[in-house]
Amino acid sequence: MEKIFASLITIGDELLIGQTIDTNSAWMAQQLNDAGIWVQRRVAVGDDRQAIIRALEEEGADSHIILITGGLGPTADDITKPVLCEYFGGKMVQNAGALQNVMDIVQTRGLPMLERNLEQAMVPDAATIIQNKRGTAPGMWFEKNGRIYVSMPGVPHEMKGMMEGYVIPHLRQRFTMPALLHHTLITSGQGESSVAERIKDFEAALPAHMKLAYLPSYGLLKLRLTTFAPDQAAAEADMNKAFSELGTLLADIRVADRDEPMGVILGSLLKTRGLRLGTAESCTGGKIASMVTAVPGSSAWFNGSVVSYANETKMNVLGVRAATLEQYGAVSEETVKEMAAGALEVLRADCVIAVSGIMGPDGGSPEKPVGTVWIAVGGKNSLRTRRYHFRYDRERNTDMTCIAAMNELRKWLEN
Amino acid sequence: MEKIFASLITIGDELLIGQTIDTNSAWMAQQLNDAGIWVQRRVAVGDDRQAIIRALEEEGADSHIILITGGLGPTADDITKPVLCEYFGGKMVQNAGALQNVMDIVQTRGLPMLERNLEQAMVPDAATIIQNKRGTAPGMWFEKNGRIYVSMPGVPHEMKGMMEGYVIPHLRQRFTMPALLHHTLITSGQGESSVAERIKDFEAALPAHMKLAYLPSYGLLKLRLTTFAPDQAAAEADMNKAFSELGTLLADIRVADRDEPMGVILGSLLKTRGLRLGTAESCTGGKIASMVTAVPGSSAWFNGSVVSYANETKMNVLGVRAATLEQYGAVSEETVKEMAAGALEVLRADCVIAVSGIMGPDGGSPEKPVGTVWIAVGGKNSLRTRRYHFRYDRERNTDMTCIAAMNELRKWLEN
């Protein structure tokens, strides 16, 4: 069974100077994996002719499929199209479909039609054109020496439209793929080394076509099993057997049987139990609510949040007592309990997450250093509190707090 | 003036199957750029011996500096260290400093000392060791054929500690760098093509060592100027001249003179004017508050937010009238105005952002399709409202709404 290999080439100086975080590649890799295609390399290069040509050559040497994003915009720094035309031979021609698309978009948006917009419809005649329903730059499908090269815009939703509507379906037609499966168990409460120790016999006994990976992630540990097999049924049989064995070995620290965001995990627990959630957030500033509402349909189990950043807001909206804040401080078990009680009432919620902490860089003290967090979770008659101490920067302290707090509620719900 | 080139190699299957978004590379690229080092390529490969060796060879061919992250953990899928030992020659030896560090960490965390933890202190004798103050895996500095290779853990805060504490200072000592400057102007209200048209003479007249890039970003457009010069003073003189010319040309659509997050831009306006902000968020679910509180020191100008996801919360906490919700719906100018008024009062804020919309995938109707958003910004006596219609997926609709709403408040503050 031959594996089908892909490379991703991302073009744009913004990726090399750190101005943009590349989120496209992860999404594209997921799509390719779902189709049974193994991404073996991802390369980012600048808007530079030589660098682009070198990448095309190197990636074409070993990969069946080379997906390229970026550098197709209407401005002078975008050079991908002429470089591809040079590399694959031929000349630039006007594409009628792309022209119509540009004219439609310009008209819908009420923009003037500029010469540089018309140039968006000029394409290499060596390419099969992929129409862009979400923007002016068309995609291009090239073939050379038995390799497939596809060039798409770097704008995420334009690229996604082309991938889903054209690229993935056409790749599925062209290749007979092996089945490629990933399955992830999320655990919490034990470190990478200890877990590895517990399952070392299991790991040693895995067949050669299966792979186990350990991914520490914001205080959780994800264990990912990967398998290749000639067909879907065989892959699933292998996976089910190994995955259930792993799940049994680690049942006591299991969080979820899939790599789902914590919001999704909480959501399905809340839905099953018919409970509605509210949050009272100080140091996390609404990030827990934002993670919760990122889940489609969360309105079925989420009422809202009071982001009580200022002490005044803690008092006015959540009813935290001035005396509590004075005596124990905003970051204390007492305050977080009153925040939770207030949120349960004002948000008419069945259960609650309340957090208060010091995320840094400033605001720490010897008794309450930066990274100190109090978390309360539960319902009206069964509030649980816990103190954490994170030792990272502001951003990571916040993210760790969000996951820890949501995980505390998960434990409360599962008990 | 010779440019100093770097390559980044990221190792780990999780990057190739789309399980992890690579945020390290952007951060590392920023640090290198600040030091005058140009990152010319970023490559991600799997936990695979051959793939790692190929990357070391290819990147070593053209770059002076090769920074490697990932694959240094204590589990069987982590193979970077033995592969590096093989590639650079020599043998594995125990490093006393690294051993002490492992023992300290295991003790502090109250963990059992496992064989695999001790192995973390085994390092190739060809390497200079970089002690890891934040984890058990040491970093390694190799030199070969005049190239420098540095291997660091993939865990972001461990990598960051080594970069700041050791790698960047040592690279600065080793090379005489040219000055490399980036400066970004943020604009809003005009598309890439139109802006390019307005400044085409400016762009054509830029000297060869300067580069202009266009980065559309969530409804904003960022214009980045880059310059190289033998020394900092010359680079700054070039940059100041060109950047002020650009700023003058685009003064009417200028948002900011730096690539700062919108929260930082708003924060400095609010601080200058002595105003405190509150937000009332329905569809954005707390994300605006979360972006605002990501700014260190935001407690000086941010009171909090009411995330009124459920209609009940809009009524109970913000005082939106049932009749308004019934007559106009939750996504309407009338509702968002009452949300804003309620938030101003309950959060004791001087100014407010209120949003209500339909982010999708469900919830749309012919009159109010998915992507419809009402935004209100302003203060007690001067509320401004505006309707937007975004045409993306749930996540992007939310992000576009957050930036648009914050930008509306910015405009209100600047008038």
Concatenated DSSP letters of B180-230: EEEEEEEEESS-HHHHHHHTHHHHHTS-TTEEEEEEEETTEEEEEEEEEES
Mutate to test the interface with A, among B3, B10, B19 (most CBs of A within 10 A): B19
Contact yes or no for A304 and B302 at CB 8 A: no
Mean pLDDT confidence for B363-373 = 96
Q: What is the DSSP letter of B319?
A: -
Nearest to A305 among B192, B307, B360 (CB): B307
Contact yes or no for A305 and B304 at CB 8 A: no
Poorest-confidence range of B46-50, B131-135, B316-320, B376-380? B131-135
Contact yes or no for B293 and A307 at CB 8 A: yes
Mean pLDDT confidence for B190-202 = 94
Between CA B242 and CA B239 the distance in angstroms is: 5
Contact yes or no for A43 and B43 at CB 8 A: yes
Contact yes or no for A313 and B304 at CB 8 A: yes
Nearest to B292 among A41, A42, A285 (CB): A285
Contact present, B409 and B351 (Cβ < 8 Å): yes
From chain A, pick out residues whose CB is under 8 angstroms from the CB of B302: 309-310
Nearest to A41 among B14, B45, B281 (CB): B45
Between CA B323 and CA B338 the distance in angstroms is: 12
Size of interface A-B (CB pairs under 8 A): 330
Contact yes or no for A193 and B292 at CB 8 A: no
Query: Helix (H, G, I), strand (E, B), or coil: what is residue B295?
Result: coil
Local confidence band at B27 (pLDDT 50, 70, 90 cut-offs)? very high
Single-letter residue type at B396: R
Nearest residue of chain B to residue A342 (CA atoms): B317
Contact yes or no for B306 and A317 at CB 8 A: yes
Name residue B65's beta-bridge partners: B6, B148
Mean pLDDT confidence for B319-334 = 98
Cβ partners under 8 Å of residue B105, min gap 6: B135, B136
Contact yes or no for A15 and B26 at CB 8 A: yes
Between CA B10 and CA A44 the distance in angstroms is: 11
Indicate the pairing of strand A220-229 with strand A37-45: unpaired
* Alpha-carbon dihedral sign for residues B30, B35, B38, B39: negative
Contact yes or no for A111 and B191 at CB 8 A: yes
Contact yes or no for A76 and B297 at CB 8 A: no
Nearest to A116 among B196, B285, B347 (CB): B196
Q: CA-CA-CA-CA torsion for B356, B361, B363, B364, nearest 10 degrees?
A: 90
* Alpha-carbon dihedral sign for residues A314, A316, A319, A322: positive
Class at the top of the CATH hierarchy for domain B262-414: alpha beta
Class at the top of the CATH hierarchy for domain A186-256: alpha beta
Mutate to test the interface with B, among A8, A63, A72, A75 (most CBs of B within 10 A): A75
How far B337 CA lies from chain A's nearest CA (Å)?
A: 19
Class at the top of the CATH hierarchy for domain A4-174: alpha beta
Cβ neighbours around A201 below 10 Å, total:
8
From chain A, pick out residues whose CB is under 8 angstroms from the CB of B58: 58
Phi-psi region of A219 (alpha: psi -120 to 50; beta: other; left: phi over 0): left
**Phi/psi of residue B181, nearest 5 degrees:** -120, 135
Q: In what order do the strands lie in the sheet with A128-130?
A: A128-130, A139-144, A147-152, A65-69, A4-11, A37-45, B37-45, B4-11, B65-69, B147-152, B139-144, B128-130
How far A27 CA lies from chain B's nearest CA (Å)?
A: 6
Q: How many CA atoms lie within 13 A of B246 on its CB side?
A: 32
Contact yes or no for A17 and B30 at CB 8 A: yes
Contact present, B280 and B342 (Cβ < 8 Å): yes
Nearest residue of chain B to residue A39 (CA atoms): B16
Respond yes or no on whether the N-terminal peptide bond of residue A169 is cis (omega within 30° of 0).
Answer: no
Burial B216-253 (b: 16+ CB within 10 A, else e): beeebbbbbbbbbbeeeebbbebbeebbeebeebbeeb
Respond yes or no on whether the N-terminal peptide bond of residue A361 is cis (omega within 30° of 0).
Answer: yes
pLDDT value of position A1? 62
pLDDT value of position B348? 97
Mutate to test the interface with B, among A306, A315, A359 (most CBs of B within 10 A): A306
Nearest residue of chain A to residue B279 (CA atoms): A307
Indicate the pairing of strand A65-69 with strand A147-152: parallel
How far B143 CA lies from chain A's nearest CA (Å)?
A: 23
Nearest residue of chain A to residue B37 (CA atoms): A17
- How many angstroms from the chain centroid is the CA of residue B205? 32
Between CA A38 and CA A208 the distance in angstroms is: 17
Radius of gyration of chain B (CA): 26
Mutate to test the interface with B, among A4, A284, A290, A299 (most CBs of B within 10 A): A290
Class at the top of the CATH hierarchy for domain B179-256: alpha beta
Name residue B67's beta-bridge partners: B8, B150
Contact yes or no for B18 and A29 at CB 8 A: yes
Nearest residue of chain B to residue A260 (CA atoms): B19
For chain A, which ranges sit under pLDDT 70? 1
The CA distances from residue A105 to A49, A113, A135, B197, in Å, are 29, 10, 7, 18
From chain B, pick out residues whose CB is under 8 angstroms from the CB of A47: 213
Mutate to test the interface with A, among B113, B117, B292, B313 (most CBs of A within 10 A): B313
Mean pLDDT confidence for B229-253 = 96
Nearest residue of chain B to residue A210 (CA atoms): B77
- Model confidence pLDDT, tens digit, residues B106-152: 888 888 888 888 899 999 999 999 999 889 999 999 999 999 999 99
Residue spans of the domains in chain A: they are 4-174, 186-256, 262-414
From chain A, pick out residues whose CB is under 8 angstroms from the CB of B112: 194
How far A142 CA lies from chain B's nearest CA (Å)?
A: 23
pLDDT value of position B110? 81
Can you tell me the ipTM of this complex? 0.91
Mutate to test the interface with A, among B7, B9, B17, B225 (most CBs of A within 10 A): B17
**Phi/psi of residue A338, nearest 5 degrees:** -70, -35
Mean pLDDT confidence for B249-261 = 96
